[in-house]
Amino acid sequence: MKQLKLLLLAIVVAACTHNPTPEERAQSLISQLTLEEKASLMRHDDGGVERLGIRPYNWWNEALHGVARNGKATTFPQPIGMAASFDEPLVEQVFTAVSDEGRVKHRQGMADGVSDWYEGITFWTPNINIFRDPRWGRGMETYGEDPYLTGQLGMAVVRGLQGPLDAPVLKTHACAKHFAVHSGPEWNRHSFDAEVSDRDLRETYLPAFKDLVTKAGVQEVMIAYNRFRGVPCGANRFLIDTVLRGEWKFRGLVVSDCWAIHDFFMEGRHGYCEDVTQAVSEAVRAGTDFNCGESYRHIPETVAAGLLDEAELEPALTRILAARIRLGELDDNDAAWADLSDDIVEGPAHRALARQMAQESMVLLQNKDGILPLVPGARIAVIGPNADDKEMLWGNYNPIPEQTVTLAEAMRERIPGLVSFQGCELVRREPLSAQEIAGVLKQLKDIDIVVFAGGISPKVEGEEMPVDLPGFRGGDRTDIELPAVQRQLLAALHQAGKRVVLVNFSGSAMGLVPETQHCDAIVQAWYPGEEGGTALAELLFGDVVPSGKLPVTFYRSIEQVPDYENYDMQGRTYRYFKGEALFPFGYGLSYTHFAYGAPRVNGSVLEVPVTNDGACDADEVVQLYVRQPADAEGPLKSLRGFRRVHIPAGATVTVSFPLTAETFLGWSPEAGDMVPVKGAWELLVGGSSADKALQRVAYSY
């Protein structure tokens, strides 16, 4: 009897001291909400419920490569440039810095007690869509064309932004977007229906999302504008309910892209619903928790019309309120980050990190006769439309840094009296006149080496832009060549006997065939952020050894690429492209040379010795690909591992890759998914995806 009394007492004490879970707290609040209040909480511009202590909160914030659209913050290289680093730990370090700045800026913004637009701690990044076609204007926001690379770097972004998932208060939210099967075109994204095979869906378009959900614990997933197999993604129960919440057990938030639910019924768009109430019903029932836009304002009338039951809102509201509780948003809990000083925002440590990332992102594509690094004392000029353009360096979805160093500014620091001028516009409709070319050459008459800062710009490529210029349409490109006016001037410089170093700024692959003939060196610089100019000057003069590798295939011309609106993977990316690329995926030169020894399998590990047989210490990105010889319809090869290693001059480093079940994932028609496939495989290891750069080992799994 005494033991029974003690047990009952323990139960009573436990009940009295029970700390409710975030879900329990959320459900308690939901029971007290009116329908109108529920509708308000399911929008990005959450109006709050003052009487219950729920503050207004704006969910919409951006951190693509720095805390964006809210003034000062460190501006790191555009994601496509970060992908070229193949440096997973550094990417995580960058986004740890971004989330640190995000917490500081949130604290500053909350001084009035209300989180305004772009002041929250829920960041709608990373963009992990596959950059399947070089014409897509938003490809610069992604981590390239390969599902494995995208998944690995995307998970690093999530870890850096969110911090430990078991922390008492979550640091921030990351958001995997855009789910699913979306990578252009920009001009028809509000009406486009993406049709792909089950194999392409599971082998190419979904793996990175699966990695971020099942391994990294991403807290939000944003649905795409387009339809998938006839159904808008925001109403697509197969994508949201079957795959995301069913197969992958996602328990986080599903958010619509901005005003995407309006696309369900607006004239000239999907034509999927008759009006906004039907659209709201379809989205809520499919599992889209909250709405960026205005559609969910119509939840009360949707319920009144009998298209939705009020009880059907509870799962979404539970997830929304529980998320705010875990972020400390309902408890004014910022104590875990109280020691983050305001001074870290674009402070010296973060600028140094931006500089390192910019250095690692640069890809040396060509270096005839070792013209780079530049020799001190050479007669050098810096010209071109991107030589002194700060905004180009920032990319898109960017902060506004207080300090930005252009290439021309960095070169002036090194070369007193540097000859530097624009030379030509970025793009124009008419060619240069003979008089204009003569004028440029006259200014360069005493110059031996011309560093030409060309390429394109976020002013002409990006998200749904009102751009109508030769080679561009609505933010996308209709061609991949260098703008004609730049190509013309580079040819003229070559004909005049100038040695030319082309620094190509772009967020996407360029067709540079004539430039390989007219230029002595080509450096792919992407949009390298606020420290991009300094990093470039260091690379050009040899203070830094180039180590970046291409995260996308550089085709010779647009003729090598299938129709833009066809989402089939055959003929696309290094995995399915059978032609001769201008510069292949994974390619990048150095100022030294790396020799690969014979790889061997040691138990369940592939080992390969790599020797730096050049004269300078440098980093090499060692890449592991796999291929199934029996799978005639499958990829030519698929990246399944990479290691960025530092190798001193004259030294040899043995690089190891564990061979796990995930190394041998392949398409199974029987399973309808990617599974470990038993049988014969080839392991291919080397410094790029080009066949001539790879050594093969037969392996039976």
Cα separations in angstroms, 24 against 31, 36, 627: 11, 21, 49
Cα separations in angstroms, 104 against 109, 111, 277: 9, 11, 39
Q: Which of 461, 476, 515, 520 is catalytic?
A: 461
DSSP 441-510: HHHTTT-SEEEEEEE--TTTSSSS----STTEETTEES--BPPHHHHHHHHHHHHTT-EEEEEEE-SS--
Paired with 453 in beta bridges are 503
Peptide bond preceding 14 in cis form (omega within 30 of 0): no
- Virtual CA dihedral for 402, 407, 413, 415, nearest 10 degrees? -170
Three-state DSSP string of 592-623: CCEEECCCEEECCEEEEEEEECCCCCEEEEEE
Residue 105 near residue 73 (C-beta atoms within 8 A): yes
List b or e across 578-600, with b for residues whose CB sees 16 or more CB atoms inside 10 angstroms.
eeebbbbbbbbbbbbebebeebe
Cα separations in angstroms, 604 against 172, 601, 665: 37, 7, 16
Token pair for residue 273? 């619903």
Q: Please state the φ and ψ torsions of residue 611, each to the nearest 5 degrees.
A: -110, 130
In angstroms, the CA 66 to CA 337 distance is: 18
Residue 297 amino acid letter: R
Residue 637 near residue 625 (C-beta atoms within 8 A): yes
The angle at the Cα of 358, spanning 353 to 359, to the nearest 5 degrees, equals 100
Neighbours of 13 (CB within 10 A): 10
Token pair for residue 83? 């992908």
Task: Decide if 257 is catalytic.
Answer: yes
The strand pair at 227-228 and 521-524 is best described as unpaired
Token pair for residue 687? 């410094």
Burial of 168 (0-12, 13-18, 19+ CB in 10 A): exposed
To the nearest 10 degrees (0 to 180), the angle between helices 348-361 and 532-540 is 50
- Residue 241 is given by DSSP the state I
- Based on its alpha-carbon atoms, the radius of gyration of the chain, rounded to whole angstroms, reads 27
Burial of 693 (0-12, 13-18, 19+ CB in 10 A): middle
In angstroms, the CA 167 to CA 164 distance is: 5
In angstroms, the CA 235 to CA 288 distance is: 7
Host H or E run for residue 94: helix 88-109
Task: Decide if 682 is catalytic.
Answer: no
The strand pair at 521-524 and 499-505 is best described as parallel
Token pair for residue 18? 């029970």
The angle at the Cα of 201, spanning 198 to 202, to the nearest 5 degrees, equals 85
In angstroms, the CA 449 to CA 415 distance is: 13
Q: Which of 257, 263, 481, 531 is catalytic?
A: 257
Active site residues: 257, 461
